Structure 1
């Protein structure tokens, strides 16, 4: 078998494509179809038996035309390829004749007694290939049919089980639809009677023989149990599409997997029924006895965790709600624990492999900088500076993320770190995602560092060729110690003499490869990343679990709170009156919209349309326009016009969210505020309130829904970015907060970052204690093996940061 072919990664790609609706998803380097074509047609592909080899070749050819296939054709191709890859692996690595106990779970589903070939093929459509896959295919929900109630006590909306005697039963073909058969049963208990209906679509159920069989099964005086959702209708209460089982006597045992118990509900796909999943899982559950628990006993006892075999049994078919809760807690803990353990192990491995020279955290240069600073650092800034300087003293590279609200003073903290590197004989680089932000950083550093007689240069896509050559030359000789720039810093022509510290601002706007490429300009340089978008601790642990995280959670003194007001559809005139008053006093205004051009599908104002409209509303004011589709030169011109006071109103998209610093701007008007996340609104609000004048943020809410209003109320009641980020996270969930396409979130089967925050903290603590005892994890071979398996499944073989 070829070492270059990553079987699990192939299966992961196929599974994700299926989950996302066969849209030919875009990865970091390739589209899904390109990746599959390259992998399947690689010259190092495995030597397979002729029938499999021919199928393999056909699959590779089909993926070359994948974008032209219909969705059903794509679904069929993906399912076939998943089966092909599994069968190819089996042919290359046939199981030994005598299977050890620990290997039993890796057997194919065809070894399950009671599951036929048709069932195995259906389960393979869900990516379930082995007994282990089936055991770890968790329910997405549970329905409680365990509560048995008398007919008289039925309440609409509840799920219940009834036990009663059949009074009468009818089975007939619907007069309106000749392909629909209706089973109608009237049952009675000591408190009343109820009519139940079940509907069967298909001509086989219209067969007279089948209908007579049902009448005999549910003959009068037969005792049955029925479970379902209580629903009201014009003929009274009933159970919606109930599950029904005949009992041998009143109080007899219920053998069904769905009646009278807490029923698991599984994720399904076309052609796979809930009953097939439940039956298959029940067949697999005895094999949990073959499953060793990788978690050390002392760790389980310390955190009150039940053992893994019990957890798997109870998550699928729980005895009661208490055991279900215990099972879920253990399995959620496992998902978080292996993620955190993997991230911590990665950091340990990096630190062991990367050695850097300790820097000097004190010296004349730093002392001189403190003297020229026109303000005192806040306590939060001082705390974060100490954390950074302690990192720089270590013989391993710093890898720290600094979170800070808009205006909290992250840049000055970064400059102190840069000066520590410079006074130790190193060069430094600061990379920002946009030219606007890079220019802003450059101006700040220029104002501070020229007083210390340190050279600072700016390198962006707009830098002239002659200036660019000069910068390259001075970098190579070491004359230039501070370089600020955009993606231009990672071009091949940029060569540092001795790069010691890399600062990356708004790090989430850069890809992993871009950040790594800048780091590779030096020999294991220290790395400081910054973000003005606070994220909750649970997200920070999940996304940045192998980084050290610092928070600047305090604003400089003297900042006036921004008055934030929510306005409805009919209150626009209030906003315009405030704008006129502020501009009359010499102030300036931002108007922010979510779209550049008008959309036919969405009833939203566009930046271009609003720019034209406001020119007529305020004919005496100069109205500027700024959006992402403008060229760099046009953007720069629009920002400079506004910064220099030539423009009173600036109509913009969220391109102003970062980097536009105009202290004279006092009004931020946000159209369709309900369309933005709370953290993004808070970022936009931070564009005003940067001077000494009272500032205002006006949120125009076009939605009539109460949830939209409640979300915006959070912003009007708080100025704390960390609190707002936490509320945004709870209200919208992590995918929406981060942006689902490039969030980098792992794919948890059970765990919820919103609901299971305590469990994540517990798992982090446990992982830290394990790593502290043995960095290699060799003391726990089962744990190490499970970690490797989990990380391949959870993250497709890569770790996030």
Structure 2
């Protein structure tokens, strides 16, 4: 008997040929198939008599009898199958290409249902490659709203419908195992329903289904796959999205409560210590920086671990705020770890921290700063009254860290290797936290006994009061819209820095049409002649097929048709990125600027190769760097004054704003040129918004509406399923899910009255930001 965990290879119709294709879509079990929802629907409900088909390009459905069918062989093993279908009003011609088997599967006198688009040739109007099925009570491929699924090469939506439809009958009856409102009041358990087929247990409490008029799980899944109307599909989608958001909110609230049970080192707030650092700075802090710093410093005083995200716009000065927390921590004889996503960024932080701390005589105070990356280890120490940078072996550095002889360790992934053990780690700062995977974040935060890393289980940490969990401060330059703050980052406290430093010049932004690109190149040459450097960014996606799909889907979404974004193959996207950068590099280096020094950067390069090129660019060896989004968040290149972005219409506003923030880091006037390679007026209007607005948070909210949440989170990093991701623009649904989660946990903190919900919650894929 089938169950949700049954492997798909056990299903009829799944052979060795299609199995790997299904797995490429992440479909390995029956549950995966049932939860593989359509991204849109073809509307074949309109039944048209044969005599009323008059225009090419129409999408129509009709039913009739096959009165003639013939297959003609063409060259190179190609064929055309032509059938004549008669209904009460006349005859229509249907044509299929390279499907000769249809002559046997649709013999004369077969009554069929056809759905498809009309076309015109020298013989007149016909249906081109229509979907077809024999007349039956419940249509799958024709005469209805037909689901179109996310596909992969060699796997069609028709095949997926063939697999999914029978499963809806097998799992078609709901089974309630959650209390009704009356049962809730009496704290009793609801009885399980019975069905002829396999039951789908509904994890949502029955009182929530009734309150919001949501269909039961089994009905919702059926209506998502084969709805009778768009409204029915939308209602089912909203119910499924609510469940995913509800589970996410429950997990988020539980995480916060769990954090209160953990113990952390107490870092006393010492205003005079902080003033010492602030008064030594060569600039004045903004009001936002002061507020954020105060929030963080007060969190460090608490007995449970801080879990705060410092969200600052590009160039808003996040690092100095983090340094204020680090400075106070190390002044109280505790250690700080500062993680950056790349070696060159870690080196940059190391240099800037040393410079800032040296202004207040930090070495006389005994503060020792270390750098640990995959390729080197350094430590700044005081010798004979002079600060020197001393290169160390990794083993020596590890020994110093374990003995507590490094107060502030800055590094990359090397910081989380098993051989790195701290003596008294009290604060972890992670720069651009979304660049690190869940497991990497876990490694740095877990398993401390008396401050020393060991290999105990995570569960033992939570229940053992001897463990001191370090405080966590994450930083990101990607402005987070409000709905994401309530969901994906719901278990974090968030500090915002929106203000820019007062002496920072505004970057001049200009949208440039493709025909005016020559003028843009002249301007680049002029800036380079003046001693400046230039970034040229290429879009990551180059392939025409993906572009067409996205354009079509955006159009359908605008027209009100249900759709969610295509998932793309990471590998194909990377190779497309390589092609785009290589093409642009060859054009600029060989044709446009043959006498200038130009380098290129893309995602297929090895990390060390990227680091080498970025370092050379920073040191002025190259005039132009042609790159992809790998420079979206990266090193400061003070001498770079121009950011030129090719085909800017392919990027989201938030990402374009991130690119723009790579320039304008010095006293020179800087520029951002957005080359619009499309012909759409709406795209040009969208890009024009960047000319007027330099508020990353405002642009992020707009981008969320236009392009969805993937721009900010990355699907895998977010931990959210498809429908919840697609619903992150629906603030009202998020508020409902959050409210119900709070009310339920207040009434039943352990979910003891809701075993199916508790089980579902335990299995739910989530962000595990605080481990």
* Fold match by TM threshold 0.5: yes
How far apart, in 2, do the equivalents of 1:182 and 1:787 lie?
54
The structure with the larger Rg is: 1
Among candidates 182, 206, 211, match of residue 297 of structure 1: 206
Deviations 1:489-519 (A, max 9, x none): 3456654432211111122333434433333
How far apart, in 1, do the equivalents of 2:521 and 2:103 lie?
69
Q: Does 1:559 align with 2:559?
A: no
Match of residue 214 from structure 1:
108
Conserved 8 A contact 2:281-2:356 = yes
The number of residue pairs the alignment matches comes to 658
Conserved 8 A contact 2:71-2:100 = no
TM-score, scaled relative to structure 1? 0.68
How far apart, in 1, do the equivalents of 2:35 and 2:149 lie?
12
Deviations 1:262-319 (A, max 9, x none): 3445668769846644651453254335445322234334544333343234334434
Among candidates 323, 331, 335, match of residue 232 of structure 2: 323
How far apart, in 2, do the equivalents of 1:462 and 1:275 lie?
55
Residue 598 of structure 1 and its aligned partner are, at CA, apart by 13
Q: Does 1:197 align with 2:101?
A: no
Match of residue 357 from structure 1:
265
Deviations 1:740-769 (A, max 9, x none): 7x6465553686256656534543443344
Match of residue 760 from structure 2:
786
Match of residue 10 from structure 1:
none
TM-score, scaled relative to structure 2? 0.70
How far apart, in 1, do the equivalents of 2:91 and 2:683 lie?
42
How far apart, in 2, do the equivalents of 1:641 and 1:202 lie?
62
Residue 798 of structure 1 and its aligned partner are, at CA, apart by 8.2
Residue 563 of structure 1 and its aligned partner are, at CA, apart by 1.1
Match of residue 638 from structure 1:
616
Q: Does 1:262 align with 2:145?
A: yes
Q: Which has the higher contact order (CA 8 A, sep 6+)?
A: 2
Conserved 8 A contact 2:478-2:712 = no
Conserved 8 A contact 2:654-2:711 = no
How far apart, in 2, do the equivalents of 1:132 and 1:581 lie?
60
Q: Which moved more, 1:194-203 or 1:431-440?
A: 194-203
Deviations 1:45-84 (A, max 9, x none): xxxxxxxxxxxxxxxxxxxxxxxxxxxxxxxxxxxxxxxx
Alignment of 1:571-590 (within 5 A): 571-579=516-524, 582=527, 588-590=532-534
Conserved 8 A contact 1:343-1:799 = no
Match of residue 232 from structure 1:
119
Match of residue 74 from structure 1:
none
How far apart, in 1, do the equivalents of 2:741 and 2:42 lie?
34
Match of residue 312 from structure 2:
404
Q: Does 1:689 align with 2:664?
A: yes
Q: Does 1:187 align with 2:79?
A: no
How far apart, in 2, do the equivalents of 1:408 and 1:616 lie?
37
Among candidates 505, 510, 514, match of residue 436 of structure 2: 510
How far apart, in 1, do the equivalents of 2:319 and 2:28 lie?
52
- Match of 1:214, SS state, is coil
How far apart, in 2, do the equivalents of 1:383 and 1:199 lie?
68
Q: Does 1:284 align with 2:170?
A: yes
Alignment of 1:51-62 (within 5 A): none
Residue 138 of structure 1 and its aligned partner are, at CA, apart by 3.9
Deviations 1:189-217 (A, max 9, x none): 4xxx451436597777657xx88x633x5
Conserved 8 A contact 1:591-1:650 = yes
Alignment of 1:718-797 (within 5 A): 718-726=693-701, 743=717, 745-748=719-722, 752=726, 758-789=732-763, 791=764
Residue 184 of structure 1 and its aligned partner are, at CA, apart by 0.9
Q: Which moved more, 1:287-296 or 1:669-678?
A: 669-678
Q: Does 1:666 align with 2:641?
A: yes
Residue 672 of structure 1 and its aligned partner are, at CA, apart by 6.3
Deviations 1:67-111 (A, max 9, x none): xxxxxxxxxxxxxxxxxxxxxxxxxxxx9xxxxxxxx9669799x
Residue 707 of structure 1 and its aligned partner are, at CA, apart by 8.1
Could you tell me which runs of 5 or more consecutive residues in structure 1 were left unpaired when the two chains were aligned: 1-94, 96-103, 111-115, 219-224, 248-253
Distance change >3 Å, CA 728–CA 693, structure 1 → 2: same
Among candidates 513, 536, 556, match of residue 592 of structure 1: 536
Distance change >3 Å, CA 339–CA 214, structure 1 → 2: farther
Conserved 8 A contact 1:361-1:390 = yes
Q: Which moved more, 1:532-541 or 1:226-235?
A: 532-541
Conserved 8 A contact 1:184-1:195 = yes
How far apart, in 2, do the equivalents of 1:310 and 1:597 lie?
42
Q: Does 1:143 align with 2:87?
A: no
How far apart, in 1, do the equivalents of 2:635 and 2:439 lie?
27
How far apart, in 2, do the equivalents of 1:163 and 1:616 lie?
65
Residue 604 of structure 1 and its aligned partner are, at CA, apart by 4.3
Conserved 8 A contact 2:56-2:120 = no
How far apart, in 1, do the equivalents of 2:118 and 2:634 lie?
56
Residue 539 of structure 1 and its aligned partner are, at CA, apart by 5.3
Match of residue 468 from structure 1:
392
Distance change >3 Å, CA 652–CA 435, structure 1 → 2: farther
Match of residue 170 from structure 1:
68
- Match of 1:228, SS state, is strand
Alignment of 1:10-89 (within 5 A): none
How far apart, in 1, do the equivalents of 2:13 and 2:57 lie?
33
Residue 124 of structure 1 and its aligned partner are, at CA, apart by 10
Distance change >3 Å, CA 149–CA 757, structure 1 → 2: farther
How far apart, in 2, do the equivalents of 1:453 and 1:480 lie?
17
Distance change >3 Å, CA 751–CA 262, structure 1 → 2: farther
Match of residue 434 from structure 1:
342
Distance change >3 Å, CA 255–CA 106, structure 1 → 2: closer
Conserved 8 A contact 2:584-2:626 = no
Residue 703 of structure 1 and its aligned partner are, at CA, apart by 6.5
Conserved 8 A contact 2:61-2:113 = yes
Conserved 8 A contact 2:343-2:411 = yes
Q: Which moved more, 1:574-583 or 1:264-273?
A: 264-273
How far apart, in 2, do the equivalents of 1:440 and 1:373 lie?
18
Conserved 8 A contact 1:598-1:606 = no
Conserved 8 A contact 2:600-2:625 = yes
Distance change >3 Å, CA 154–CA 774, structure 1 → 2: farther
Conserved 8 A contact 1:156-1:232 = yes
How far apart, in 2, do the equivalents of 1:349 and 1:394 lie?
15
How far apart, in 1, do the equivalents of 2:405 and 2:287 lie?
35
Distance change >3 Å, CA 266–CA 570, structure 1 → 2: closer
Q: Which moved more, 1:320-329 or 1:195-204?
A: 195-204
Distance change >3 Å, CA 363–CA 321, structure 1 → 2: same
Residue 786 of structure 1 and its aligned partner are, at CA, apart by 2.5
- Match of 2:659, SS state, is helix
